[in-house]
């Protein structure tokens, strides 16, 4: 267990993103950002219960390999996702209004990037579907909770990977 994290004082999440759209490297460069564009009610409901200080495993989907690439921290919660009001956004929701927003999200900041991807194939070998939702067949949620025991193991796996020579994170 890594002493930098106090597991009993936070929730853990897994946030999926396509690296061609927004990667962990983009998160590192951008500073705290709104995690916008989530348009699944269950994923939105998970975002609604996130708390400042929670850690999120950043998962690159539609990549080779897919898997967990690092950590982010929730720094602000219950933000109305501005993309729902932007008619030029692919996430625009004509049924949403500023007075009664349908989509809330969080602001996250970069914490660290793992030395290498913890690939989905490895996750499937080491976790059951009950332990880690992302390994469930057909699981397509972009936001999902991670239990404390699974988070401890996953964090240990990610932090055990040695960064490449010359890496500056």
Homologous superfamily assigned to 7-160: ph1033 like domains (3.10.590.10)
Domain ranges of the chain: 7-160
Output the pLDDT for position 168.
47
Q: What average pLDDT does the structure give for the chain?
A: 91
- Mean pLDDT score, 31-38: 95
Q: How big, in percent rounded to 5, are the helix, strand and coil portions of the chain?
A: 25, 30, 45
Output the pLDDT for position 158.
87
Whether 123 has a pLDDT exceeding 80, the answer reads: yes
- High-pLDDT (> 90) share of the chain, %: 84
Output the pLDDT for position 7.
55
Output the pLDDT for position 59.
97
What is this structure's pTM?
0.89
Output the pLDDT for position 165.
43
Cβ burial of 81 (10 Å; 0-12, 13-18, 19+) is: buried
**Interval 142-166: pLDDT, tens:** 999 999 999 999 999 988 875 554 4
Angle at 29 between CA 86 and CA 110, to 5 degrees: 90
DSSP assignment of 93-126 equals -TT-BTTB-S-EEEEEEEEEEEEEEEEHHHHHHH
Whether 5 has a pLDDT exceeding 70, the answer reads: no
């Amino acid at each position: 267990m890594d002493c930098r994290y106090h597991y009993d004082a936070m929730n853990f999440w897994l946030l999926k993103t396509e690296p061609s759209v927004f990667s962990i490297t983009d998160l590192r460069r951008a500073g705290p950002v709104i995690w916008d564009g989530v348009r699944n009610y269950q994923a939105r409901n998970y975002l609604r219960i996130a708390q400042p200080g929670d850690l999120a495993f950043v998962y690159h989907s539609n990549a080779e390999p897919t898997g967990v690439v690092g950590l982010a921290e929730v720094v602000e919660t219950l933000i109305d996702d501005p993309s729902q009001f932007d008619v030029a956004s692919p996430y625009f929701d004509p049924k949403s209004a500023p007075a009664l927003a349908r989509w809330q999200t969080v602001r996250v900041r970069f914490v660290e990037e793992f030395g290498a991807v913890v690939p989905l194939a490895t996750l499937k070998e080491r976790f059951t579907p009950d332990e880690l939702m992302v390994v469930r067949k057909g699981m397509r949620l972009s936001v999902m909770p991670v239990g404390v025991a699974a988070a401890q193991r996953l964090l240990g796996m990610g932090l055990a990977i040695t960064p490449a020579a010359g890496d500056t994170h």
